[in-house]
Structure 1
Amino acid sequence: MTTSRPALTDPWELAGLRVPNRVLLAPLAGIGNWFVRLQAARHGAGMAYSEMVSSFAIHYGNEKTLTELLRVHPDEGPTALQLFGQDPEIMRSAAAYVAEHVPQVDVIDLNMGCPVPKVCKTGAGAAMLKDPDTAVAVARAAHEGSGKPVTVKLRSGSVPGDTTSGIHLAHRLVEEAGVAAITFHPRSAKVHHKGTPDYDLAARLVESLPAPVILSGGLHTVEEVKAAYERTGAAAVMLARGSLGNPWLFEQLLGRREEGPSPAEILAEWQWVMDRAEEHLGAERAGRYLRKFHPWYVERLGGSKELHTALQQTATVDDARAVLDGLGAAVPAV
């Protein structure tokens, strides 16, 4: 007798935390601040993970980290804060700080999958695939320091063809460090985001791991997400690049809408993002910061090179608003 899979709209529990559905926002390095997470929550995400935050920066009291990267909005919903670092005692200290000073955080997530060289050369991120003893010690310290559930994001391996190191480490993290769930990106660290994720490998992990597996990687469309969710048997899915400039994907996956957004909706959402960025960073800093956001919304509106160029030349949020104000009357016809 076969049992039906839970729907993406079904709630589930993560170490006693009730998560209202199975579509989550992934930790997006340099992007996933409070207003990006809030945006995902507004569109239905069951839980949102923060951008990667250095455990060393928290331990040593870096002001920008403490005041900006640890900010949580009261309306975000279930929230995980992602930390990285290779020193167990520093991680213990950082996790304890988060538990004491940012009580809105429900889960500590550990990045053991980032392939970026400047992270890996410190022994953090995906480098931990090669040092499982340290990885287990770091995860144990995060749990002991915070008293909160700990999840870990992993790659399948360090290089193409390595299909065992990620699975082996996942088992050790759960069995030896009490990790509550594993987020699994079934590509090697070497390929970054290129190539096809090995969803059959993810299914093997799901079958063997005595903890929930959250699937990440290659999930850009409704069809891709639903197919991968069914194929792997994962407990939940994480939207990453597929949600950039397209938070409506959460709504589509949760059955709240069938079609994508209208041009007017895209423009209104874009303005909301700019308003929140200015609230977060001030007009001038936000103007520079938003240059990486603008292309996602330009693409949703047809990919105009002229619009892209004009926005990349703006210095402040008001400059960007002026460009969009000029676009406003023409948007419905895009």
Structure 2
Amino acid sequence: MTPSQVLAEWGPAAGLLAAPAALPAQTDGLNLKSRFRLKPFLMAPMAGVSDAAYRTMARAGGAGLAYTEMVSCAGLHYGGEKTWELVEPAETEPDIAVQLFGSKPELFREAAASVCERLGNRLALIDINMACPVPKVTKKGEGSALLDNPELAASLVQACIEGSGAQVPVTAKIRRGRRMGEEVAPEFARAMEAAGASAIAVHGRFANQLYHGEADWGCVSRVVKAVSVPVIGSGDVSSAQAGARMLAETGASAVMVARGSYGNPWIFRDAAALRLGESPAPHDAREKIAAFRCHVRLLSATGANLKRARSLAGWYLRGMPEAARLRGMAVTCLTLEDYLAVADEAERMLCDAE
């Protein structure tokens, strides 16, 4: 089956839209503002997670935009087709945001030109990762290490704009700062705006916090006040309620959802409903099992490594009868049929428990 056929057949049972609604390609910061006003809840870039199947589930679940996992500019230059697999959208995706990382302006210029040429009007924006706190990235001066070097960071923004011919928005994702107690986000965001960034995404933790502690949403508000371009808030959006609250409390134009979307592709649509004062319908166990089936079938249809479905099983089947046993079954799965058998077992145990 093709991804479109999978989504059409299994999406309704999973409480998903039959196909994600297309939005026009965006070409400048003003259009990003308009886009975010319509659909402000976005699927964040997540390493090892944000593949085409995951993005498709998120868009079908109401996400206004979905990002690739971070893609190395050097990988696109030297790695060829293997790296391009991270960038190519599935047929089910109306458009995508491509997140690049690195530290060399010439490679960003080349990568931006290549991505624009290859994706055409299915490229919504190019985002530059200036937030990743992982040591293997920062030791090369990439990711959140750029927070210590705003001049270099600005040159990367400018290189992407030049490489893209100013045909798509170029944005930056940053953190509160590199080290605890040293907030640089508002000033750094101003420098990125001056370099030409069309939007700034800010995660409310310091880089050396990694993902521990609480994200400071006040930092998002301070960045909103510091710049005139759209600001995307990020950090601790673990539920639809949190997403709607971040949007209301910070003044951000949009909100990125990362781990809150694990096993919950509906979080985007639910947050949008709460934003409008509506009560989203609950998602019962059968809907979650159907979503797991749909997601695994999408992995298969997009040619992804099916080992990724082992994590999906843990996320979608959490809280169900004998969830630990189901997870144990999933970690031995090798084929699509193996994973569908886990879903069948989950449904059988659910019937027994009723």
TM-score, normalising length: structure 2: 0.85
The 3-state SS of whatever aligns with 1:245 is coil
**Using CA pairs below 8 Å that are at least 6 residues apart, which structure has the higher relative contact order?**
2
Against the structure 1 CA distance between its residues 37 and 330, is the aligned structure 2 distance closer, same or farther, given a 3 Å change threshold?
A: same
The 3-state SS of whatever aligns with 1:81 is strand
Against the structure 1 CA distance between its residues 301 and 233, is the aligned structure 2 distance closer, same or farther, given a 3 Å change threshold?
A: same
Give the deviation of 1:297 after TM superposition. Answer: 1.1
Q: What do the CA deviations read for 1:23-62 (whole angstroms, capped 9, x no partner)?
A: 1111111111122111111111111111111111112242
Q: What do the CA deviations read for 1:278-309 (whole angstroms, capped 9, x no partner)?
A: 12226xx31x2222222111215367211111
The equivalent of 1:167 in structure 2 is: 186
The 3-state SS of whatever aligns with 1:71 is coil
Give the deviation of 1:276 after TM superposition. Answer: 1.0
Give the deviation of 1:201 after TM superposition. Answer: 2.0
Against the structure 1 CA distance between its residues 39 and 195, is the aligned structure 2 distance closer, same or farther, given a 3 Å change threshold?
A: same
- The answer on whether the counterparts of 1:180 and 1:211 sit within 8 Å (CA) in structure 2 is yes
Instruction: Return the alpha-carbon distance in structure 2 between the equivalents of residues 281 and 60 of structure 1.
Output: 23
After the TM superposition, which of the residue ranges 149-158 and 32-41 deviates more from structure 2? 32-41
Amino acid at match of 2:230: P
Instruction: Return the alpha-carbon distance in structure 1 between the equivalents of residues 303 and 118 of structure 2.
Output: 21
After the TM superposition, which of the residue ranges 125-134 and 73-82 deviates more from structure 2? 73-82
Give the deviation of 1:111 after TM superposition. Answer: 0.5
Alignment partner of 1:105 out of 110, 123, 145: 123
Amino acid at match of 2:174: L
Alignment partner of 2:320 out of 270, 290, 301: 301
Against the structure 1 CA distance between its residues 302 and 62, is the aligned structure 2 distance closer, same or farther, given a 3 Å change threshold?
A: farther
The equivalent of 2:245 in structure 1 is: 227
Alignment partner of 1:265 out of 287, 291, 315: 287
Give the deviation of 1:266 after TM superposition. Answer: 0.6
1:46 matched to 2:64 = yes
Amino acid at match of 1:152: A
The 3-state SS of whatever aligns with 1:315 is coil
The equivalent of 1:93 in structure 2 is: 110
After the TM superposition, which of the residue ranges 324-333 and 52-61 deviates more from structure 2? 324-333
Instruction: Return the alpha-carbon distance in structure 2 between the equivalents of residues 166 and 253 of structure 1.
Output: 26
Q: Percent identity?
A: 35
After the TM superposition, which of the residue ranges 73-82 and 140-149 deviates more from structure 2? 73-82
Instruction: Return the alpha-carbon distance in structure 1 between the equivalents of residues 199 and 321 of structure 2.
Output: 39
1:276 matched to 2:298 = yes
1:79 matched to 2:96 = yes
- The answer on whether the counterparts of 1:291 and 1:312 sit within 8 Å (CA) in structure 2 is yes
Query: Please, which runs of 5 or more residues in structure 1 have no aligned partner?
Result: 1-10
Amino acid at match of 2:31: G
The equivalent of 2:31 in structure 1 is: 16
RMSD of equivalent CA atoms? 2.0
The equivalent of 2:176 in structure 1 is: 156
Instruction: Return the alpha-carbon distance in structure 2 between the equivalents of residues 55 and 300 of structure 1.
Output: 40
The 3-state SS of whatever aligns with 1:95 is helix
Amino acid at match of 1:252: D
After the TM superposition, which of the residue ranges 323-332 and 273-282 deviates more from structure 2? 323-332
The equivalent of 1:64 in structure 2 is: 82
After the TM superposition, which of the residue ranges 321-330 and 306-315 deviates more from structure 2? 321-330
Instruction: Return the alpha-carbon distance in structure 2 between the equivalents of residues 210 and 74 of structure 1.
Output: 35
After the TM superposition, which of the residue ranges 87-96 and 302-311 deviates more from structure 2? 302-311
- The answer on whether the counterparts of 1:112 and 1:124 sit within 8 Å (CA) in structure 2 is yes
Amino acid at match of 1:259: A
Instruction: Return the alpha-carbon distance in structure 1 between the equivalents of residues 311 and 108 of structure 2.
Output: 30
The 3-state SS of whatever aligns with 1:46 is coil
Query: Please, which runs of 5 or more residues in structure 2 have no aligned partner?
Result: 1-22
